[in-house]
Amino acid sequence: MNIDELRKEIDRLDDSVLELIDRRYELVKKVGVIKQTSSLGVFVPEREKAIIDRLSKKAGENLPIEAIVSIYREIISGARLIEHPITVVHLKGDLLSIQAAYAKFGSCIKLKPLINISDLLSEIKNNLNTYAVIPHADCLDPELKILSEISIKNPHTPSKNLKFFIVGR
């Protein structure tokens, strides 16, 4: 095969992948309806982890696990957007919290900067599909819980990771 033929085959595969994602999102809409009538949040970290773990075990030799994680983080992020857009609150000016938010939730989120932790916690308590990314969890209100954690590389000390907590209702 020459390069043009290979590219045509890649285009056909891309079309098929897009059709499958569209069918997946059709099912996601139905799940979203069930979640809304049950007052369930759209972020379900254990389900997302199970999806990534299951697919990572199926990785072929041409598909690195890091690529599966990255691809599915965005597919799931888009699915959450279809179910119900989510907002991620963070401390204003905290670029590492923003980086952690994108690393955990993907790019289909609305970021909302707030001035202090008490404002973040209040925002979460008042909105079902709002989550916070915070650098420490010692200030949590009893109505809230840590849903997940995320570690990102420390830009000042790359050998160390920084931990952030994902907080919600």
* Fold agreement (1-84, 85-169): no
Among 101, 169, 108, smallest CA distance to 134 is for: 101
Superfamily per CATH, domain 1-84: Chorismate mutase (1.20.59.10)
Amino acid 156: pLDDT: 80
**CATH for 85-169?**
3.40.190.10
Question: Domain ranges in the chain?
Answer: 1-84, 85-169
The whole-number pLDDT of residue 103 equals: 94
Tokens encoding 168: 């919600």
**Amino acid 143: pLDDT:** 81
**Tens-level pLDDT at each residue, the chain (169 residues):** 899 999 999 999 999 999 999 999 999 999 999 988 888 888 999 999 999 999 999 888 899 999 999 999 999 999 999 988 899 999 999 999 999 999 999 999 999 999 998 899 899 998 888 999 998 777 677 888 899 999 998 888 878 889 999 999 8
